[in-house]
Structure 1
Amino acid sequence: MAVWENEDGAVSGYYRDLICDAYGKTPLELGLVELPATPTPESVELAERLTLSRLDGGLVELLRGHTQSIRMMDRRLGGATIYQQTAAHVEQIVKLVRYALPGPHREAAADELGQAAALGGWQALDMGRLDEAWRLHEVATAASRESGRPAGLAYARAQQAFILLDVDRAAEACEMIRRAREDAGSGVPAVLLSWLHAAEGEALAADGQRNNALRALDLAADNLAAGASDDSLPFVMLGAGHLARWRGHCLARLGDEQAIDDLSDALAVMGEGRYGRAEASLRVDLAIAFRARGDSTESRLHAQRAADLAGRTGSERQRRRIAGLLSA
């Protein structure tokens, strides 16, 4: 026994049993065996998270379907109504992706996270919550990079530039969208290139660059004709009517009364009451364009209709634009 105590020698099973019988103690009480390590709360939690975040194709499809459902409700009802649901959805995907092991399912979930976060960021922007809008777009761009899909990254980065437009930093917004478009190159569908050119046109119009803005809108039309739709890009809703609305918006920003024709055509295609936030924005543009023509009666009618729609959808962004029109 002294040898084992002084020299720290191992006790065989045979002698361990004899010693325990002699002292009437268990091996653990005599220090002949060590207590097995107890998992720490942190290691238990990590193991549980890794187990619960076993992504598969079916789960990714469920996430994708939920994002699309939120997207369609957002188009009809506006961000204020649906934002809390969007934010919760984003947080859920963040947790799933964070603890998922590398592989194609994680990349697909990251792509969906990018789309959901970009949608939430746009809703926050519409509600006037600019810090939150910026944060969510940062989530979207990081997730899109991890997914390895350039379309989502280009879209999120370009859309983030609209936050800069809302804080009167048009030149920086132009540069941000231009870089997103150039980095995307020809590796994205034509309909997204059309969207990127149109977004750049809006930023250029806000910066007072009329000729460059109109050139960008022409390029948007050219690319739209080359590829009118793509099922892999549910976040891009762009057709001839949408592009007419975008062109009208840019012309209205430039103080050009010709915007009225494009905007009136876009309103006829859109239909009244179907897309609250988009219609509110369009009617603000019509109000601006009619005021540029000198028709204060029509301008005020559209501004008042826009105010009603902005109230229903909770669009603080459009309310700010409308306030200036109605007070003029």
Structure 2
Amino acid sequence: MHADIVVLPGDGIGPEIVSATLPVLAAVAKRYGHSFSFAEHDIGGIAIDRHGEPLPAATLEAARKADAILLGAVGGPKWSDPNAKVRPEQGLLAIRKALGLFANLRPVRPHASALGASPIKSHLLEGVDIVVVRELTGGIYFGDKNRSDTEATDLCRYSVAEVERVVRSAGALARQRRGHLTSVDKANVLETSRLWRDVATRVMREEFPDVTVEHQLVDSMAMHLLSRPRAYDVIVTENMFGDILTDEASMLAGSLGLLASASLGAGKVGIYEPIHGSAPDIAGKGIANPYATILSAALLLRHSLGLVEEAEAVEAAVSAALDAKVFTTDLAAPGQGVDTAGAARAVIERLG
């Protein structure tokens, strides 16, 4: 098959980890007889510098026409002034909204060989296999914002339809996996969470009666996620809660550099990116961990291109590289890590 993939390297380590991932996709295409074309466009801080806005019209137009989008990272200290009217993160929020990508899938599956990198006790991590489904285009990140000299407000708003569609996506995923869904809210305090819980309960009862459902308050979920992570299968939650919980969940895997994500909507197109940020402290040093971006490319193959065997081959190659202790500096003992390109080469070698 042929696929047109838009590449958005972005800022910080984004260009490095994306550059390391494209040869992996090229190797997949060669091995399985596919043809992938890559078109690079600007987003985030680099787009502000070059075009005066974080999401240029040309980038969005290319994304609309693409079969899939691979993204690195956005942001950095250069653009971090909290009073700035134009910020890199606005580009990421805008492209998700424009493409209707409302469900962010974040798998958390610790690799046995990397358990030592996690601050969590290894016996708690064995057998952990979680997917967090984070609502992506609603909530406080997109609500009306106001600020004066003496106060500021951010509106958190959710509609029934927004909650229904993301819970429906999570329910379908849970049905394909182990049949257990945990819906996370703050229904003891927030009206949006009370709506969330009512809608989630109804959707799961009417459409997924075969899936076991539990509700967790977000503060207790933050505790249980680290103390008994094996208890969870699919977790669905609103935008801000999901953003926070998945960064916490990265500690289960040992590093943010191991966690991929897929931002999906009603169609096939999606944005695939590591969950970590632009890591400006190590940008340009060639030591960033590319595994999360490579695993995001595997999600791209699976969800947007429908290439399940190819996706599994990439995931197996990453696992094999980790089993061989091909660790970047975030996972390795001091002075023993491989560079970004070396980790990517290890994956390609194990693709065959």
Q: Same fold (TM over 0.5)?
A: no
Larger RCO: 1 or 2 (CA < 8 Å, sep 6+): 2
Greater C-alpha Rg: 1
Q: Under a length normalisation based on structure 2, what TM-score does the superposition of the two structures give?
A: 0.27
Identify the structure with the greater strand proportion: 2
Q: Which has the higher helix share?
A: 1
Q: TM-score w.r.t. structure 1 length?
A: 0.28
